Amino acid sequence: MPLVNIVLTLIVVGVLLWLINRFIPMAGSIKSILNAVVVIVVVIWLLNVFGVLSTVNRFHVGG
């Protein structure tokens, strides 16, 4: 995946999250959970894009 696509995806996700936080009224706790979930999903996606998760999936614990 080209670096430009990754940067554009991050910008779009950031703007969408900002729009949701700014213009959709919701409780602070729900907003915090939403932000945390989006950040975790984006970090996992980035790890997958850069191939870190494929390396981790090769390790087996136990049996």
Tokens in use for 20? 């949701």
Residue 63 domain-assigned? no
Global pTM value: 0.80
Residue 63, pLDDT above cutoff 70: no
Tokens in use for 60? 């087996």
Residue 61 domain-assigned? no
The CA distance from 56 to 40, in Å, is 17
Residue labelled with tokens 């996700």:
13
Instruction: Choose among 43, 42, 19, 41: nearest CA to 31.
Output: 19
How many domains are contained in the chain?
1
Q: Where are the alpha helices (DSSP H) in the chain?
A: 3-23, 28-49, 52-56
Residue 62 domain-assigned? no
The 10s digit of each residue's pLDDT in 20-62 is 999 999 999 999 999 999 999 999 999 989 988 877 666 667 7
Domain that holds residue 27: 3-56
